[in-house]
Amino acid sequence: MPDKPVVVIGRKFPEAVEARLARDYRPKFNPEDRVYPAAELLSLCEGADALLPCHSEHLPAEVIAKLPDTVKIIANFSVGVDHVDLAAAKGRGIAVTNTPDVLSDATAEIAMLCMLGAARRAGEGERLIRAGAWKSWSPAFMVGTQVTGKRFGVVGMGRVGQVTARRARGFDMEIHYTNRNRLDPALEAGAVYHESVEDLLPHCDVLSLHCPATPQTMNLMNAERLALLPEGAILVNTARGAIIDEAALMAALRSGRLAAAGLDVYKNEPHIEPAFFAIENIFLLPHIGSATGQTRDAMGFRALDNLDAFFAGREPRDRVA
C-alpha cells in the first residue's frame, strides 16, 4: 500500500524478518547481500522513510549529512552503534535505535569459544589435522593453558559481560570486572570490582572485552595496558576491533608475554591485518558472535519493533539518539 513507509535494508536479513518487512513496509531488499558503497546507499535512500543498516554499513557525519530529508529513522540491526555518527544523526533530527538484550547469550557463547580455542590451541590443532600433518602423540604435544579455576576479567559488565561472567563461573573461575558504574551486589554475584582498567588487569588470567567502541575506548588495550596483564594471560575480544591496538597485541603474542588471544572482531573487518595469519597462538573467528538463527531473528524483530513504534508515533524502546 502506498501509505506504508519505504525502508532501505542494508544487508540480507533472515527469512522471517524479511517476511515481516514485506508485510508491514515497502522494503528495498538487498538480495545479493552486498555491502553498498556510500553513494549507492544514499541513492537507494532517495524517497525512503527509514534505513535498517548493520554494523557493516558505515554512516559517518558526511554520509548522514547527505541522507535525504525523508529518512527519519536509522534502525540498526546491531547492539553496537559505532558505525553511526550519533551526534550527526541527532543534529538532523534522525532517530537512531539498536537491538540490545537479544544477543547476550549467543555472544557469551562465542566468548567462551574464543577463550577455550585460544587456551587449548584449537586453531593450531584444527589446521594440523586438515593439513594431514598430525603424525604422533606425546606428553609434550599441543600443551595449552587450563582455564578451570583461573581468574576471569571483564571490561564492560553490561548485558553481555554479565552473561559471559556467568558462563565463566561454570569453569569455577574467579570473576573480576571493571565498569563505568559498580553493579548492585546481586548482579555482581561475588565478582570483584576494580575502579579502573589498570587496576583490573593484573588480576586477569583471562581478559574478556565487552565494552562499546567509543572515542574513549579506542585502542584501550595498548602496549602499556597489555603489559599490566600477568605473563601468560589470554585476551578475548567479542566486542569491537577498535578496542585493541592490533600491532601491540601481535607484539605481545609474538614475544610470548601473552599466551594466546581469541578474536571475533577486528579493526578493519572483513579486511584483517595479514600479519595475524602468521601468528600461531591466536584463535580467529569471522564476527559470528550473534550468528545463531534464534538470535538473528530476534535482532531483526527488535529492529522492526523499534520501527513500528516510531511510525506509530511512539518512542522506540531502544532509541540511542
State the catalytic residues.
240, 269, 287
Task: Please answer whether residues 297 and 305 qualify as being in contact, where contact means their C-beta atoms are separated by less than 8 angstroms.
Answer: no
590451541: which residue's cell?
Answer: 121
Please work out, in degrees rounded to the nearest 5, the angle formed at the alpha carbon of residue 163 by the alpha carbons of 172 and 151: 35
What does the DSSP 8-state code read for residue 239? S
CA nearest 51: which of 315, 317, 312, 306?
306
138, amino acid identity: S
The three grid cell numbers given for residue 297, joined into one nine-digit string: 531473528
Rg over alpha carbons for the chain, rounded to the nearest Å, is: 21
Residue 153: HSE in the Cβ half-sphere, 13 Å Cα cutoff: 25
Sort strands 6-9 and 50-52 into parallel, antiparallel or unpaired: parallel
